[in-house]
Structure 1
Amino acid sequence: MATIKLDRRDVQILAILSREGRISKAALAERVALSATPCWERLKRLEQAGLITGYRADVALKKLAPHVEVFVLAELDNHRAEAFQTFERAIDRHDEIVGGWALGGGFDYLLHVIAPDIDAYQRLIDGLLAQGIGLARYFTYIVTKPVKTGSPPPFSALLGEPPDRKD
Structure 2
Amino acid sequence: MPESHFGSTGTIDIDDIDKQLLRLLQTQARMSITELAERVNLSATPCARRIKRLEDANIITGYHTKTDAQKLGYPLAVFIAVSMDRHTAERFEQFERSVQSFEEVVSCSIVTGRTEDYLIKVRVRDMAHYEEFLLHRLNRIEGVAQVHTSFELREVFSRSVV
Query: What TM-score results when the alignment is normalised by the length of structure 2?
Result: 0.85
**1:39 maps to which residue?**
47
**Pick from 2, 7, 20: which aligns with 1:12?**
20
Say if 1:77 and 1:135, in contact at 8 Å, map to a contact too: yes
Is residue 39 of structure 2 the alignment partner of residue 28 of structure 1?
no
Distance of 2:23 and 2:157 partners within structure 1: 18
Instruction: Trace 1:16-165 onto structure 2 (pairs within 5 A).
Output: 16-106=24-114, 107-126=116-135, 127-131=137-141, 133-149=142-158, 151-153=159-161, 155=162
1:10-64 superposed Cα distances (whole Å, 9 cap, x missing partner): 2221122122222221111011110001101111111111110111122122223
Tell me the TM-score normalised to structure 1 length.
Answer: 0.82
Moved over 4 A (4+): none
Alignment root-mean-square deviation, CA? 1.8
Unaligned runs of 5+ in 2: 1-5
Q: Structure 1: where are the runs of 5+ without partners?
A: 156-167
Give the percent of matched residue pairs that are identical in Structure 1 and Structure 2. 37
3-state secondary structure, aligned to 2:90: helix
> Structure 2 CA distance, aligned partners of 1:140 and 1:84?
20
Q: Does the CA contact (< 8 Å) of 1:19 and 1:152 recur in 2?
A: no
Look up the SS of the partner of 1:63 in the other structure: coil
**Matched residue pairs, number?**
152
Per-residue Cα deviation, 1:110-162 (whole angstroms, up to 9, x for no partner): 1010112111112111122223x21111111112222212x232x3xxxxxxx
